[in-house]
């Protein structure tokens, strides 16, 4: 699954619906600048996060807080593999990608829209 995001200006993307308890999904993020050029991820760590809607403001807990693998720094490509613990609770989640510059302590966050984890049929 591929997802293109713009890190300097939030871009909503379409994330896959996932069944509760499923795992092993690889989501590839193509991080872009506002001018559509690749965002250079050299010296950045990339984290895919998702918190469940309906939590009180300020009390959000990330259901998913997964480090991504930067597969091509210059091309702005990072990949996240979802674990079983990431998908253990069904619901609608607010997803975002966080890019942190490790040398300059800069954190950039892009809102990705909704991630839906569907209830598993008994």
Report the domain count for the chain.
1
What's residue 62's pLDDT? 74
List, run by run, the mean pLDDT of 10-residue segments along the chain (122 residues): 48 72 84 83 93 68 88 92 88 90 84 86 72
Q: What is the mean pLDDT of the chain?
A: 81
Domain that holds residue 22: 2-118
- Of 31, 45, 24, residue with least CA distance to 102: 45
Strand partners, 50: 64, 95
Pair type for strands 69-72 and 77-81: antiparallel
Two structure tokens written together for 86: 């990431």
CA distance readout (Å), 78 to 17, 40, 115 = 20, 11, 18
Two structure tokens written together for 56: 């009180």
In the chain, which residue ranges form alpha helices assigned H by DSSP? Answer: none
What's residue 42's pLDDT? 93
Spatial distance between the Cα atoms of 16 and 60, rounded to a whole number of angstroms: 22
Please measure the distance between the N-terminal and C-terminal CA atoms of the chain and give it in whole angstroms.
Answer: 27
pTM over 0.75: yes
Q: What is the pLDDT of residues 21-42, one digit of tens each?
A: 888 888 888 888 877 788 899 9
What CATH number is associated with residue 73?
Answer: 2.60.40.3350
């Amino acid at each position: 699954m591929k997802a293109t995001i713009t890190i300097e200006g939030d871009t909503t993307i379409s994330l896959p619906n996932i069944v509760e308890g499923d795992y092993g999904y690889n989501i590839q993020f193509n991080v872009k600048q506002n001018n559509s050029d690749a965002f250079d991820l050299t010296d950045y760590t990339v984290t895919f996060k998702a918190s469940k809607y309906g939590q009180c403001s300020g009390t959000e807990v990330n259901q998913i807080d997964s480090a991504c693998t930067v597969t091509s720094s210059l091309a702005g490509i990072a990949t996240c593999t979802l674990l079983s613990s990431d998908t253990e609770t069904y619901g609608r989640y607010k997803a975002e990608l966080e890019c942190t510059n490790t040398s300059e302590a800069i954190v950039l966050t892009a809102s990705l829209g909704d991630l839906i984890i569907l209830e598993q049929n008994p």
